[in-house]
Each structure stands twice: as C-alpha cells, then as structure tokens.
Amino acid sequence: MAKDYGEMEDSNPSGNPYIRNLADPARRVFVRGGMAAAVAGVLSPLLGGCATGPGPASGPLIGFKGVPVSTADAVTVPEGYTATPAFMWGEPVGVPGNMPAFRPDGSNSAADQEVQMGMHHDALAYFPLEGSRRGLLVMNHEYTDDGLLHTDGTRTWSAEKTRKSIAAHGVSVIEIEERGGAWSMVRPSRYARRITAGSPMRIAGPAAGHAMMRTTADPTGTRSLGTLNNCANGVTPWGTYLTGEENFAFYFNGPEKPDAHQRRWGLRPRGRNYRWHEHDERFDALKHPNEFNRFGWVVEIDPMDPSMTPVKRTALGRAAHEGAWTAQTRDGRVVVYMGEDAAFEYIYKFVSRDPVRPGGFTANRELLDHGTLYVARFEADGSGRWLELKAGTGPLNAENGFTNQGDVVIKSRQASDLLGATKMDRPEWTAVDTRTGEIYCTLTNNSQRGAKDRPGADAANPRRNNVMGQIIKWKEQGDFDGRAFTWTHFVLAGDPQNERAEARGNVKGDPYACPDGIWFDARGVLWIQTDAHATVMYKGEFARLGSNVMLAADPATGDTRRFLVGPPNCEVTGVMCTPDLRTMFVNIQHPGETPTDRSDPDHPSRFSSWPSGVAGARPRSATVVVRRRDGGIIGT
C-alpha cells in the first residue's frame, strides 16, 4: 500500500518531529500543522516556496529547459541558472589556527593536506545549522590521483607521499553560509574537520572483537585507523552521516596466492598500486592479513560533534559499499538500503531492532548495532524476497564457516552466495521515494554480464555486455521491513537510437549511460548522475552522450531531462539541496582524468583544467553551487 508523508509523520513514535525532519531534508518540505509550527524558524522560507512555487500540485514537476550534450571544459546548466565552483581539493577546511593555503603545484605537505579538502569529491549531504542559510556540508573524498597530488607525481615514492595520499582520502566536514545568493566556507569553524584514511575509528556491532578483526596494533579488534574509498552515503533520521567504504581492496598488498576469503574479496598483489604498504605496513596484508577485514564497512559520523570518533557499523555487513540510504518503518525503526558496487555483487538492507529515539546521536548511539541484515533476490516474475543473513540459519552454519554473526557480516559475500541472492550489475546508490514507498537502485553497468564463465542475463539484469546500466526499483510488501517485494525497472539506460540492441535504452527524454548517484528532492524529483569512465566516453556508442551529466526525472512518468553537464572526463556525483530547494550542491569528481587514473604532473590533463581554466593547471575536484538567477526553486 502506498505510504504518504502524513502517515509516516503521524506514526513517529518519538513524538519529536524536529529530530526526524531535520535529519532528512527530503522530509522537511511536507511537515504540516503543529509540526510546522515547531520548526517554523527553520522551515518558513521552504514552506513559503512551496506555497507559491510550481510543484506537483500546480504544474509540471520539471520546468527547466534541458541542456544539450557537451564536451566543453565547463559545467553547463540551464538558462537562468548559475553553477559556481567552490570547496575545491586543497582548500583549508577551517580548523581554527591551522589553515594552510592551497598550493597549485602540489607542494602542500601531508600535514597541510590533513586540514585541507580531500581529493576526488563524491557523495555529500547538507546539515542545516540555520535552515537554508548556514549549515554543515559533509562530503566523501573517494580516492586520489597521486600524479596530481604530489609535485612530481609518483616518480618517487616516500613516507611523506604515503601520508599525504592517506590524508587526501576520507571525509570533510565544513561549515558554509549564504550571503546575497553566494555561498562560502566559514573559516575558522568549530565544526571544521577532516577524517582521513588514518583517523581513529571505533568498530561496533557483531564483528567488533572478532578474531578476524584483531591485529598486532589492536588486539581487541575494536579500534582501527581510517576510512577510505568513501563513495556514496546516507543520512540517518537522528542527524548523522553514513559513508560507505567502497574499493578498499585496491589499497592492500596481497599475496601472490590469496586464500579463498581473500580471493572472494579481491585482495591481490600490490592492489591498485597505491604503494601505501611500502611505508605503512598495515596495508601490507602479507604482514597484517586482518587489517584488510577492518575495511568495507558503513561508517557513522556525527557532523555536529567534531570530537566524535567515527564508528564502523558492522551489523550492516561488509561490502564494497556504496549508498546507505535510510527509510523508517511506521513504528519508527530505521531501514538502511545498501548497494555493493562490484560486478555480480548484491543489494542489502538492514532493519534496526529498536525504534529511533529523540535526542540525536546521543540517544541513538547503538541503534545501528542491533537488527537484521538481508540480501535481495529478484525473481523473474517481478516478485522478490529478502533473504536473512543470520548465523545458524539455513546454510549459514559452522560447517560452512559461520559460527557467529561476526562471521556472517565479515564474510557477507560468501554468505550471500550460499543463500542464492541475485548477482547484480554493480549496485551503486539507493534512494527512497517517500511518496510511493518505492526504493530505487542504480546498476551502473557490467560488461562482464554474459561473458565466458560469468553469469548470464537474468530478469533484473537483462542485458549481456551491459555497458549502459539500468535503474531498478521495488516496493516492499507492507512496511519497509517487509520480507517480500515487487520490482520493475525504472529505466534501461542508453541511447534509444543505438544501433546495437544490447546497448539500446528506453530512456524517455534525454539519453544517458551508467547511472550512479541518485537522490529524491523534497518535491519528488529523481536526480540521476552518471559515471561513464574515460576509457569508454566519447567513443562508439557513447559518442552521442558527451561528458558525464546530471538529469532530472519525473518518477511517475519517467520523463528525463538533462540538467547539468560536467567537464570532460569527470564523474558527476553527490547531490543535495538546502531545505528550501533554492540551492543545490553537486560534486564534480576527477575532471580531466586520464584513462589510466594516474596523471602526468608535468602535463596535468590534456582534457581539462577545470575549474581554474588556466592552461596547464591541475584540474581539481570541487563542489558546484547551483542557484537560479531569480532565487527560485531548483528544477521548476
């Protein structure tokens, strides 16, 4: 049954609408009556905007004129909009007394980088301090291009370079404010914070203390260092930030002959050649094999408390994590939807045991440690089931290596294999349409589908050599904690004019490839971001699609319109609006990236010098602040 906002808000067991509505910007626009009065200070501009602006009730959901494809070294947005680069790699985040200026030649030290914006921006979230005028912007820095990070790139390698590369990963928390329509960083700020691949973390949940999590440096298996390859994200109803650790295997030096567990998790000699292990031996799995198990988790961060130790929430399972988007059951429990971005991996959901309590992180500090983890199985008839990942259930027994729940969450891939979950085409972000109760997940692509000795096409992943990707959506039976669901495809991506049937999409409107980031704004617009890699872009069947883009889609009709085109060879990723929907933050990752992912420092990019536009300058990941010239609501 369709669930609307009123139903969800009325069922709030906390009796504290302020907490829930502040936590999820997507919910704020729909508060009514007494609740609106309670948060009037925060919401009044928003409610005003909704009353007067065009929206679902008063006009088409999407009102802007779409932009054409482009390969220009610029960010293109529709007529009447501005897109201003801000919050770039290397800017000081505003830690009081420690704000080293960015040096464009890559000569900032590792210590500088530890208090500067990281590289390769990914998912982001806005947490209001004063509604839509001042807030915290929290964002992931997924990985580094070490060719651009250091003055002489990777020609030499050292402990200092290792430390700088570690420092350029992780998460930034910055305070930002709007004045006269322009946003800037508040510096210094008591909230400003960098969390890096070297920051202290706490390990919580069923894997905490497990034998596979113990290392020489941490015999307790409860304290680790660092979060890395932070890709997509989530926001909890109690106002914290969730960040997913994606391709952690790239950073480790593994054995020539990995064991079965290491092989299943992609550990290999020298990883993706980050060379961290040469100067930081915890990344050498030959010396410290269990350090590898301490990554691949969803990490919870309270952005309001800069002294808070981030927590690895192992009850949510280990994966090459993407999004961790949340929903709430009618009785107030939190549900987290998660994709694992690797070919033939799975979609997961976690349902908390306990309801959310009022009082922010302090009142919910263990909420994500207790609950039930499931993995999805999509049947050919359009039905689906959530298979419980619980030690002692079905094949998850001692004989198969699952004696406790710690075993299950550390080896969630092996557990999901045994349960017969559906092997998907690289699940990326998840999003929840709270109007309809439908959950969306991007399946970005999977060129291995149908290849020799690889799984063939199935109903949910219907295309062999799937280079274009698709978006799947489902509706739970009953509430969000339902064990069964019905599913369909929102779209098969790709140009409907494509000559090759397997790459032909059914997009209604502007075609695109490789959907990755997705987010519903408070009006119900589905924003879709793309990540076609530099190795395929602009060639063959990608030729007509230009650079990576962000589009707006109407979930009811499927109509899709191109809203933003990024600079060449970038990924467009990370999107959220202020509660009043008059400012949108979008991240541009790795503009001008070389197909090898490692740039030449003497010739930083032959594709892009965005955002500076100075010939030969190092391109920089940055946030783009999108506004309407008339101050109106984005997308109308």
407 sits near ligand FEO (criterion: CB under 6 A): no
Size of the site for ligand FEO (CB under 6 A): 7
Q: What are the C-alpha distances in Å from 154 to residues 467, 519, 595?
A: 31, 36, 16
Binding mask 138-167 for ligand FEO (x = CB under 6 A): ----x-------------------------
Choice between 43 and 575, CB closer to Ca ion: 575
Minimum separation from the CB atom of position 140 to ligand FEO (A): 9
Minimum separation from the CB atom of position 589 to Ca ion (A): 9
Put the strands of the sheet holding 571-577 in their side by side order.
Answer: 81-86, 622-628, 583-589, 571-577
369 sits near ligand FEO (criterion: CB under 6 A): no
Minimum separation from the CB atom of position 230 to ligand FEO (A): 9
Cis preceding-peptide flag for 188 (omega within 30 of 0): yes
Of residues 488, 373, 504, the one with CA closest to residue 441: 488
Phi, psi (rounded to 5 degrees) for 385:
-135, 150
Choice between 231 and 431, CB closer to ligand FEO: 231
245 sits near ligand FEO (criterion: CB under 6 A): no
Task: Indicate the pairing of strand 134-141 with strand 241-245.
Answer: unpaired
Choice between 142 and 521, CB closer to ligand FEO: 142
Binding mask 466-505 for ligand FEO (x = CB under 6 A): ----------------------------------------
Q: Which two tokens stand for residue 304?
A: 């309001």
600 touches 150 (CB < 8 A): no
Pick one of Ca ion, ligand FEO, none as the site partner of residue 280 (Cβ within 5 to 8 A by kind). Answer: none
Of residues 585, 590, 547, 531, the one with CA closest to residue 120: 590
Pick one of Ca ion, ligand FEO, none as the site partner of residue 246 (Cβ within 5 to 8 A by kind). Answer: ligand FEO
**Cα angle for residues 330, 332, 337 (degrees, 5° grid):** 90
Which residues of this chain interact with Ca ion, rule CB under 5 A?
A: 231, 428, 516, 531
Minimum separation from the CB atom of position 247 to ligand FEO (A): 7
Helix (H) or strand (E) segment spanning residue 375: strand 371-378
231 sits near ligand FEO (criterion: CB under 6 A): yes
Q: Which two tokens stand for residue 591?
A: 């503009």
Put the strands of the sheet holding 200-204 in their side by side order.
Answer: 223-225, 200-204, 311-313, 298-301, 241-245, 230-235
341 sits near ligand FEO (criterion: CB under 6 A): yes
Pick one of Ca ion, ligand FEO, none as the site partner of residue 142 (Cβ within 5 to 8 A by kind). Answer: ligand FEO
3-state secondary structure of 34: helix
> Among 246, 345, 554, 593, which residue interacts with ligand FEO (rule: CB under 6 A)?
246
Of residues 625, 620, 627, 626, the one with CA closest to residue 121: 620
Of residues 606, 612, 604, the one with CA closest to residue 588: 612
554 sits near ligand FEO (criterion: CB under 6 A): no
Site for ligand FEO in 510-549 (CB under 6 A): 516
The residue count for the chain: 636
Tokens 């009123």, located at residue: 6
Minimum separation from the CB atom of position 68 to ligand FEO (A): 26
Binding mask 426-445 for ligand FEO (x = CB under 6 A): --x-----------------
The footprint of ligand FEO (CB under 6 A) covers 142, 231, 246, 322, 341, 428, 516
